A = this chain, B = another copy of it.
Amino acid sequence: MYLKNNIRRLLVYRQCLLKLKELGFEVIYSYNLGREASVSPEQVRKDFSKFGIKGKRKAGYEIDHLLEALDIIFKKDKDQNVILVGMGNIGKALSNYKGFAQHKIVICAAFDIDPSKQTKSYKIPVYPVEDISRIVKMYHVKIAIIAVPKPAAQEVCNRLIASGIQGIINFSPTNLKHPKNIFINNIDLANEMESLIYFTLNQ
């Protein structure tokens, strides 16, 4: 079953629901949430329906109930440890970001090849790359972020996979070779800009 867009939308709904809750709402209708998330009301209902999340006819959905259901889907009962490789521009930005905490995402360690980055002056400890395997095992880490220059990315990827990492966010603008049981989410910021430019300029 192909659920990619579905999952992405659920995550958007989650953020909208937190916002709406903060604004004092306790119950929402599919069209409220749809308006907030830029999605059609039918799509909202179908997305919830696919995961067996129920509302009440005429009375909409209880926000707290939705958030609980989403927490179960996304396993938000405990923190998810993540490691970061490459303490450069992007790596530093990510390691400084406080917003991951409320998603229960914790960057528990970072790694860099440059000894001058391996200090305790960052918010998270920065180790040499040789320590990846040890730390991954120690903290049962499944997810890693690659934020190294393009020429180093494949080598880092291989090392991560050999250490037991199962999912990778890759910021380097290159398509990494990997076994098909490993998930890779490429975030290519230049391509994101280009595609925005394309759609903007072609009306």
A positions within 8 Å CB-CB of B: 4, 7-8, 11-12, 15-16, 19, 36-38, 73-75, 80, 82, 89-90, 92-94, 96-97, 99-100, 103, 105, 142-143, 145, 166-169, 173-175, 183, 185, 187-201
The 10 A-B pairs with the shortest beta carbon distances in the complex, nearest first, are: A167-B200, A89-B93, A11-B191, A185-B196, A93-B93, A103-B190, A183-B200, A167-B196, A166-B200, A89-B96
How many copies the complex holds: the figure is: 2
Measured CA separation A142–B200 after assembly (Å): 8
A80's partner among B38, B94, B197 (CB-CB below 8 A) is B197
Measured CA separation A99–B74 after assembly (Å): 34
Measured CA separation A107–B188 after assembly (Å): 17
**Are A74's CB and B199's CB within 8 A?**
no
For A73, give the chain B residue with the smallest CB separation: B198
Measured CA separation A174–B12 after assembly (Å): 8
A7's partner among B80, B93, B185, B198 (CB-CB below 8 A) is B198
Measured CA separation A14–B10 after assembly (Å): 31
A169's partner among B103, B168, B174, B193 (CB-CB below 8 A) is B193
Which label, helix, strand, loop or mixed, suits the secondary structure of the A interface? helix
Could you write out 6 A-B pairs with CB less than 8 Å apart? A11-B195, A94-B189, A142-B197, A167-B196, A183-B200, A185-B195
Contacts A74-B197, A93-B93 supplied; 20 other A-B pairs, CB < 8 Å: A7-B195, A11-B191, A11-B195, A12-B175, A12-B188, A15-B191, A16-B175, A37-B175, A80-B197, A89-B92, A97-B189, A99-B173, A103-B194, A105-B190, A142-B200, A143-B200, A169-B192, A169-B196, A183-B200, A187-B189
